[in-house]
Amino acid sequence: MSSSIKEIRNVAIIAHVDHGKTTLVDALLSQSGIFRDNEVIPTCVMDSNDLERERGITILSKNTAVNYKDTRINIIDTPGHADFGGEVERVLGMVDGCLLIVDANEGPMPQTRFVLKKALEKGLRPIVFVNKIDRPRVVPELAIDKVLDLFLELGADDDQCDFPYLFGSGLSGFAKEEMESNSDNMMPLFEAIIRHVPPPVGDSNKPLQLQITTLDYSDFLGRIVIGKIHNGTIKNGQQASLIKENGKTIKGKVSKLLGFEGLQRIDINEAFAGDIVAVSGFDDVNIGETIACPDSPHPLPLIKVDEPTLNMTFVVNDSPFAGKEGKFVTSRQLKNRLERELLTNVALRVEETDSPDRFSVSGRGELHLGILIETMRREGFEFQISQPQVIFREIDNVECEPIETLVLDVPEVSVGSCIEKLGSRKAEMKNMQTSSDGRTQLEFLVPSRGLIGFRGEFVRITRGEGIMSHSFYEYKPKTGDFETRRNGVLIAFEEGVATFYALKNAEDRGVYFIKPGVKVYKGMIIGENNRPQDLELNICKTKQLTNMRSAGAEELDTLQSPVDITLERALEYIGPDEMLEVTPDSIRMRKINKKKKN
């Protein structure tokens, strides 16, 4: 690596979810020459874990490096969901500029606001890239006007408001400075990054200061820390000091020094101020801590991350089916796994409770905690979760609650119902726009607790045609209490196997969450009642066989399709007296007061 700071550019790519960050990185990588001519280029190369590929979203921030002419460009792909804001906040300290991607059709969305606000607070001057201009009926210039309005609303200074912008398509692999000009490659974007992103500020001659922003693990190297060198030089095999959060200094040695080249980590002997590197040799490390020169250790300011807004309790599984499907079922295993997650998940909080079997876990939203739960169940964990609760805070002796910006894109016929439902949840409408294609965009400020359980209602109101996105706005004094009505549930009366005969007989009672042949236990929630009360059903009852009926008499009978209960839907659905049982094979809802049989 070269020691000249002028030859490095560190840039983060930020945007609302689904506006094309990862696809744009694909285009930059493929046109930078890091792949061989005969190499198969994967799509969404930066979305490396299974959950990211399945859901089509970025969860973890990741970095890559490309060389353009004589400049090394370190690119960091960040999540678009506000629930993963902890990932965004910690990596913005590594970069000197950012690329804000906006959909040419949708313009800035709620999470655009969230990530842009964080970038502006850091003093970064974004380059705006209007993506997907090759789609029909787009007005890219209007998207630029909306971005400027958002900059002004967020209090950007004059220099930040005078932002450079480009148009293009990450999927088609082109960028251009003017809509009228022609381009078939990403070179204008590379040039804009070199021109508008300043080189890193730092001095290679000062004592070493490297701030840890990402943690990784390797079976061969152990704990790997990734961060930017703010000052000084780091060499493979050198002695260094780790400055902990509490100010304590631990001596250590850089056992391996790695740099980034495309998608690979490569062995290097030396790196300088401005470089982003991976280092092994330090085991007990946390995000935000500093690796420094052993002779003159000076810590960098710790990374500040917004506090969690949602809390739920993780409980050891005590249902009648406990221990049948999971590999890790004890409180010790659950505690160790949550503590391990704390090492890399900076926005997460875990606290012990009065009971050794219960742990209070706080995060940035249902998606943030839902991803953790899904990851744990895939690893073989089995546990239960309580209903999510909003975290209230006392500010100036006033009880305050988190408020979110909610944007709905709905068919015109659903507008009235959406406004009515959100009105009962204390939402305040801020904006309403109708487009020529018969759809309406509604913008609200709504208490976070008003959104718990709303998604299911929203899908029903819009018949699955609505688009909903929200992000944390701020804490405000608590609004009055409100009731989010939900019908009662259908509960299994006894342990056994659900039969077609019993389900068919009770079909008029409500909708089911299970199919015939599913094992159930007493107290397990098997559906939603048509009425407000809970109702117990014997769904294991079998038909008495007689010689009066033919064997094929029921062949024409059909059962209504059950509602597919996903993890996120179950988290939103469960009430205060209910628990969600999560195992590697199943997701079950149950009543808390129904105890295990003796």
| Nearest one of 144, 141, 80, 69 to 116, comparing CA atoms | 80
Give me the residue label for tokens 């309406």. 440
Rounded CA separation 227/280 (Å): 12
Beta strands 535-537 and 489-492 are: parallel
Residue list for the binding site: 18-23, 131-134
| DSSP state string for 113-138 | HHHHHHHHHTT--PEEEEE-TTSTT-
Residues with Cβ < 8 Å from 380, sequence gap 6 or more? Answer: 326, 327, 328, 584
Rounded CA separation 255/129 (Å): 40
| Nearest one of 13, 157, 172, 202 to 91, comparing CA atoms | 13
**Tally of CB atoms within 10 A around 472:** 21
| Nearest one of 367, 211, 208, 399 to 304, comparing CA atoms | 211
Task: Kindly give the interhelix angle for 110-121 and 140-153, rounded to the nearest 10 degrees.
Answer: 50
| Nearest one of 528, 533, 539 to 493, comparing CA atoms | 539
**How many whole angstroms from its chain centre is CA 175?**
28
Residue list for the binding site for GTP: 18-23, 131-134
